[in-house]
Amino acid sequence: FNARLEEEARRHPRTVGLEPQYAELLPEVVISIGPEGFARLAVKAMQPRPKPQVYVDHIHAPLVSVQEQAGIVVARLKELGEASFRDLVEDTADTLTVVARFLALLELYREKAVALEQEAALGELLVRWTGGDADTAPMVTDEFDRPPEPAKEEKKP
């Protein structure tokens, strides 16, 4: 790199005017706008530009209740006894519902209402109902269904 830098340091650009044969190729500058036209352009250039707006109406995703999805999962598992996660989400219409059902499974696992088995990493997840036959469903909290709390500001002494 040093050798290359030394070679390049010995190079100097030409500081000459445009050669006559090329100077003739340039078109003659014709300004067809008068003082009034320049004034209109100046007014247009000096006007404040509107702030850009980003519309997010098209990306609104409706909220999916984890508690509702837990009810669906519990009903299916009570009926079937065990099922793969793929079977539990086969009727979902969107990714958000799949995520809500997975969160519901985690809540049910925390309540010891289901047992989860997976033979290999990233393999099929088998879900088995262990909550009994009682009509009382396990308690799934609404912590995922609540809107996030606003951040609290810390006061400096």
3-state secondary structure 63-100: CCCHHHHHHHHHHHHHHHCEEEHHHHCCCCCCHHHHHH
Cβ-contact 66, 142 below 8 angstroms: yes
- pLDDT-derived band at 150 (thresholds 50, 70, 90) equals low
Reported pTM: 0.54
Whether the pLDDT of residue 127 is over 90: the answer is yes
- pLDDT-derived band at 140 (thresholds 50, 70, 90) equals confident
As a whole number of angstroms, the distance between CA 111 and CA 104 comes to 11
Question: The dihedral of CA 145, 148, 149, 154: what is its sign?
Answer: positive
Can you give the pLDDT at residue 147?
A: 64
CATH of 66-129, one of 3.40.50.720, 1.10.10.580, 1.10.3720.10, 3.40.1160.10: 1.10.10.580
As a whole number of angstroms, the distance between CA 69 and CA 110 comes to 16
